[in-house]
Amino acid sequence: MIQETKVKEMESVVIRFSGDSGDGMQLAGTIFSNLSAELGNEIITFPDYPAEIRAPHGTLSGVSGFQMQLGAKKIYTPGDKADVLIAMNPAALKVNAQFLKPHSVVIIDMDSFQAEDLKRAMFQTDNPFEELGLTSVQIVAAPITQMCKSCLESIADNKQALRSRNIFALGLVCWLFNRPLEIVEKLLSEKFKKKPNVLEANLQVLQSGFNYGHNKHASVSTYRIETVSQKKGFYTDVNGNKATAYGLIAAAEKAGLPLFLGSYPITPATDIMQELSARKELGVKVMQTEDEIAGICTAIGASFAGNLAVTSTSGPGLALKSEAIGLAVIAEIPLVVVDVQRAGPSTGMPTKSEQTDLAQALYGRNGESPAVVLAALSPTDCFDSAFWAAKIALEHMTPVILLTDGYIANGSSAWRIPDMKEYPDIRPPYVTPGMREEWLPYQRNPENGVRYWAVPGTEGFMHRIGGLEKDFTTGVISTDPANHQKMVRTRQAKIDNIAAAIPPQTVMGDEDAELLVIGWGGTYGHLSEAVEKVRESGRKVAFTHFRYINPLPQNTETILRKYKKVLVVEQNLGQFAGYLRAKINGFNPGQFNRVKGQPFIVSRLVEEMIELINQ
């Protein structure tokens, strides 16, 4: 008799794909997240991979993971622990055992759990589940390697069969979550359209994996996740780096300027350059330079010539670019510097994420060298943050440093493609013909202190700017002490005045709360979920999260002085907390700091907040 499979109805579920770096876990996870987005689920993803290009096969150091949370409600994070783990070898199981919920489903390739595989993963016994204490999990032990070989026996060799194991696992997961294969087949067709033999093999093993799950029937529970009612529009799954690139393109369109990127490849920012280099049809120009300094210098030259100029990097590159950022500050030309933060110092942990570049972005230049600093909140917010970074740079003639981080840059979520009619125009402060007779290079708008922009080639506006201090009035080189003090204060005032052009800071949660939780940048999702859980427990808490850091929104001090207890939460040792102390006299918040290269654990944040409320 055939038993019916039990179906679990769930609001949200956490899935983690894991295996060797060469097992294609990132691809399988990305396809499943794209499938879920097209079906109307909320999703957040977290790719977690090692810095080693290819560690020894089957070892703990080579494990690569891709975690996602999807659901029928608002999803803020990829989840603390997994309901379903796909472990392609014993090392993947061992590394990820700590992320499993009780009674979770674990799918393994039993062909990769032989004695030699267990030894490479440093197991002491022949029962890895018992050794790890995983006595309550539901195990799906599928002969994935052998089934791929059998399925592809007539059309592919063993090498291709091994490469297809991730797609077999994907088919099995599609069965587990009652997902149709048609969308996956379409996504695979797009991915391998230039490799028809590879496509045919993957389509066959996809169906084979789905059929294997279907034929197992009642051995494990399957899941059904309802979709959410979304605002009408076109939706896609987008990661932060791609959203950043799109935001820059949108800003260039709104400004009526060509977009130029001068950059050097660096993890985890390289995908911005790769995405923009594929957009030549939109007039985007990309120059891959020999080093970080050349990258920013080409961008500065492009800005001087009248482009929306951008350079992208991570922490080590931001350090190398510091002198050139100072040049953009003193020359007062627009520039966007995108820093996708990673764990440091030095090379640090290149594939892991932190918020440790804030002090460098604020202060990491010689002299009084103020620059605008923004921080994106989520993968999809990278679009808006990049757009506003470009708008501020162009309209206020200043370099703007946009901080994202490895977590939101590589992570993805469902994104409604925006209607650009909803976004404001970008109007750089160009010189006008009527200014020709009396114009000088540092002539300024009296309302906001922004100097006017004379793009080279504009008739009657020949001029020279550069890294040497200039006279406030004439624009010629000056070493006069009083003039230098005046120019320093003028450049600072220009940045301070931008506070009037950015939105006021908002507060979420309970108006009468004693505790205010403060975050900035890419921790928004984890803090939002933690605050929600605290409020669901019956406790009162308020929450404010900063995108605009320098200058701060005008109402920042008013908000922060309203609450009896304040907790600043960061993935560093307290850089934003220290910045707020310096900006607001007598303000001394509490801190919660973790520097592990990994996202926050929501349950730990909840504990900390409740403990502070109860004091």
DSSP-assigned states of every residue in 202-237: HHHHHHHHHHHHHHHGGGS-EEEE----PPSS-EEE
Q: Which residues contact 230 (CB under 8 A, 6 or more apart)?
A: 40, 416
Determine the pLDDT at residue 7.
66
Helices (H) and strands (E) in the chain — how many of each? 22, 22
Across 513-540, average pLDDT: 97
**Residue in 24, 19, 18, 16 with CA at minimum distance from that of residue 198:** 24
β-bridge pairing 548-550 and 590-593: unpaired
Looking up tokens 């992320």, which residue turns up?
99
Looking up tokens 């989520």, which residue turns up?
378
Give tens-digit pLDDT for 339-354: 999 999 999 999 999 9
Question: How far is it, in rounded angstroms, from Cα 438 to Cα 245?
Answer: 39
Q: What mean pLDDT, rounded, does the chain reach?
A: 93
Across 84-97, average pLDDT: 96
232-241, 344-353, 580-589: least confidently modelled range: 232-241
Q: How confident is the model at residue 161 (pLDDT cuts 50, 70, 90)?
A: confident
Question: Own/partner pairs for 486-492, CB < 8 Å, 24+ apart?
Answer: 488/368, 490/444, 490/449, 491/329, 491/330, 491/332, 491/368, 491/370, 492/368, 492/370
**What are the φ/ψ torsions at residue 483 (nearest 5 degrees)?**
-65, -40
**What are the φ/ψ torsions at residue 67 (nearest 5 degrees)?**
-110, 145
pLDDT at 372 over 80: yes
- At residue 43, the 3 state secondary structure works out as strand
Biggest CA–CA distance in the chain, Å, is 95
Give tens-digit pLDDT for 407-427: 999 999 888 899 999 999 999
Across 10-39, average pLDDT: 91
Give tens-digit pLDDT for 474-515: 999 999 999 999 999 999 999 999 999 999 999 999 989 999
Determine the pLDDT at residue 160.
87
Give tens-digit pLDDT for 99-124: 999 999 999 999 999 999 999 999 99
- Alpha carbon distances (Å) from 20 to 49, 54, 91: 9, 8, 8
Helices (H), 256-380: 270-277, 292-304, 315-320, 322-331, 358-363
Note whether 14 and 79 are within 8 A (CB). yes
CA 322 to chain CA centroid, Å, is: 23
Count Cβ atoms within 10 A of the Cβ of residue 18 and give its class: 0-12 exposed, 13-18 middle, 19 or more buried.
buried
- DSSP assignment of 439-470 equals --TT-B-TTT-PBPB--TT-TT------SS-B
Across 502-531, average pLDDT: 97
User: CB neighbours (10 Å) of residue 316?
Assistant: 18
Question: How far is it, in rounded angstroms, from Cα 379 to Cα 462?
Answer: 42
Looking up tokens 């991915």, which residue turns up?
191
**Residue in 514, 568, 507 with CA at minimum distance from that of residue 539:** 514
Q: What is the percent of the chain with per-residue pLDDT over 90, rounded to a whole number?
A: 86
Q: H or E element: which one contains 7?
A: strand 7-10
Question: How far is it, in rounded angstroms, from Cα 188 to Cα 169?
Answer: 14
- DSSP assignment of 256-267 equals T--EEEEE---T
Note whether 18 and 68 are within 8 A (CB). no
pLDDT at 398 over 70: yes
Across 529-550, average pLDDT: 97
Q: What is the percent of the chain with per-residue pLDDT over 70, rounded to a whole number?
A: 97
Higher pLDDT, 230 or 28: 28
pLDDT at 225 over 80: no
Looking up tokens 């956490």, which residue turns up?
14
pTM for this one?
Answer: 0.92
Q: How confident is the model at residue 596 (pLDDT cuts 50, 70, 90)?
A: very high
Question: How far is it, in rounded angstroms, from Cα 404 to Cα 370?
Answer: 19
β-bridge pairing 285-288 and 259-263: parallel
Question: How far is it, in rounded angstroms, from Cα 63 to Cα 20?
Answer: 5
Note whether 93 and 158 are within 8 A (CB). no
Question: How far is it, in rounded angstroms, from Cα 568 to Cα 578?
Answer: 10
SS3 per-residue string spanning 367-429: CCCCCEEEECCCCCHHHHHHHHHHHHHHHHCCEEEEEEEHHHHHCEEEEECCCHHHCCCCCCC
Looking up tokens 């949108």, which residue turns up?
250
Q: Going from the N-terminus, what domains does the chain have, and what CATH number goes with each? A: 7-225 (3.40.920.10), 237-422 (3.40.50.970), 508-614 (3.40.50.920)
Looking up tokens 């921080």, which residue turns up?
375
pLDDT at 604 over 90: yes
Q: Which residues contact 306 (CB under 8 A, 6 or more apart)?
A: 257, 455, 456, 457
Question: How far is it, in rounded angstroms, from Cα 575 to Cα 62?
Answer: 32
pLDDT at 429 over 70: yes
Determine the pLDDT at residue 228.
60
**What are the φ/ψ torsions at residue 460 (nearest 5 degrees)?**
85, 5
Question: How far is it, in rounded angstroms, from Cα 560 to Cα 480?
Answer: 41
Determine the pLDDT at residue 371.
98
Q: How confident is the model at residue 227 (pLDDT cuts 50, 70, 90)?
A: low
Q: How confident is the model at residue 3 (pLDDT cuts 50, 70, 90)?
A: very low
Determine the pLDDT at residue 55.
80
Q: How confident is the model at residue 592 (pLDDT cuts 50, 70, 90)?
A: very high
Q: H or E element: which one contains 101?
A: strand 100-109
pLDDT at 198 over 80: yes
Torsion on CA atoms 391, 397, 398, 402, rounded to nearest 10? 10
Give tens-digit pLDDT for 445-468: 999 999 999 999 999 999 999 999
Determine the pLDDT at residue 219.
62
Token code pair at residue 60? 């703990």
Question: How far is it, in rounded angstroms, from Cα 515 to Cα 130?
Answer: 44
**Residue in 49, 73, 43 with CA at minimum distance from that of residue 179:** 43
Render the burial of 452-468: b for 16+ CB within 10 Å, e for the rest. bbbeeeeeebeeebeee
